[in-house]
Structure 1
Amino acid sequence: MQIFGASSRATTIMLRVYDGELAIYRRSWRLLSNMYDRWIKVNVIHDVGASNVKVYIDGVLRYEGSGAGGHYHYFKFGVYAQDDPSHRMESRWRGISLLKKN
C-alpha cells in the first residue's frame, strides 16, 4: 500500500512485506510479523495539513510519522515484485473506504 505524492520523493509512505514482516519502506520500521496466510485490517490516516501519517493494524496504532509534503496525493495498493520475488505473490483487499476531510 502506498500514498503517492511528496515533495522530496515519489511517495509519502509505503507498506511492504519482506520475509513475512510488514514494514515501512525497506524494513526501516517493522509493523507486524507473520504476515502470510492471514487477514489484517489496515487503516491509514494521512493528514496533509498537519503533515502527519498514522498507520493502524487491526485497530492498534503501529506507526506515526511526518508527511512528505507535496500537493497531490493518491492511495495505491496491490502486489509488486521486489527483492527476491516469489513465484506466488498475492494480496486481497475488501471493504475499502476513502474519507476526505472538508
Structure 2
Amino acid sequence: MPGCKKTSTSTAERKPNDRPIHTEANPTSGWTQTSYTYGIQTPWNLPQSDRYSYSSGEHHFWIYSDDECQFEGCTTGPRSELRMNNDYTSGRHQFEGDVYIVSGSAGTDIMQVFGGATNATAIMLKIHSASGGTIKRYDNETLMTSAYNKWIHVNVQHDADNGKIYVYLNSTLKGTFADRGNATHYFKCGVYNISGSRSETRWKNIKYWKNGPVGQ
C-alpha cells in the first residue's frame, strides 16, 4: 500500500449541478492509490500537541472558540487540520478517509478541497448541530443527518478538468457540485472554524487516489 508521511508544517458561488443520487458505490474502483506527505496546521501560539494528536492510526483534531489561527497575524478562524501536499490544477483526484465527529462540534468545516476562482475553496463539508449533527456542503445542501459520534466513510472526487466534485458518504453518492473555478487545489481535513465552544473530529484511513472514473 502506498505510504504517507508527515512533513514540516510550513466568496460569489456557482450553483451545484444537483444530482440527488442515493446509490451504493465503490468510489475508488478504477483509481490508483497514490502516496502523499502532509503537514499539520494548529493555532500558532500553542504547542501542536495542545490541539492535535496521532495514535494507533487515528488523527485527533480539536479547537476552542477563542483559539487563534495557524500563523500570527492571520484573520481566518481557528483550525487544527491535516494539509495534504497534493497540489494540482488538472486531472482527477480523490480523497478518502473515515471521520468521527464528536457531538457538540458545530459551525466547523471537517474536510475541504482548497482552491477556487470565485472563493478560496472548491468545497467544504461542514458540520452543523441540528438533527444530531448535520453535514452540509458549506451552509447549503444537506448531505447527512445524525452524523455525531459514529464513524462515517468519506470519499470526495474532484474532476478538475471539468470543474465537478462528487461527494460520497458511506459509499453513497450524495451530490455533484461545481468546483467554483480553476485554481491550485489540495485536500485538507480536521476542524476549521467554530460556532460552539469546542469542535473535534477524528480521522483514520486517509488515502489519496488519482485518475479514475467519477460519479459512479
Q: TM-score normalized by structure 2?
A: 0.44
Higher relative contact order (CA 8 A, sep 6+): 2
Shift of 1:96: 1.0
Q: Deviations over 1:36-89 (max 9, x none)?
A: 110000000000001110000001000111122223101111112322x133x2
Deviates more, 1:17-26 or 1:91-100: 91-100
Quote the residue 1:22 is aligned against.
Answer: 135
Match of 1:86 among 197, 208, 216: 197
- Hey, which of these two has a bigger chunk of strand by percent? 2
Q: Runs of 4+ in structure 1 displaced over 3 angstroms? A: none
Question: CA–CA distance in 2 between the matches of 1:71 and 1:101?
Answer: 18
- Equivalence for 1:100: 210
The equivalences for 1:69-80 within 5 A come to 69-80=181-192
RMSD (CA atoms)? 1.4
* Number of equivalent positions: 99
- Identity among equivalent positions (%) equals 37
TM-score, normalized by length of structure 1?
0.90
Q: 1:61, 1:24 → 2: CA distance?
A: 13
Q: Distance in 1 between matches of 2:112 and 2:193?
A: 14
Larger Rg: 2
Return 5+ residue gaps in structure 2 as ranges: 1-110
Q: Which moved more, 1:90-99 or 1:38-47?
A: 90-99
**Which residue, out of 155, 175, 191, partners 1:63?**
175
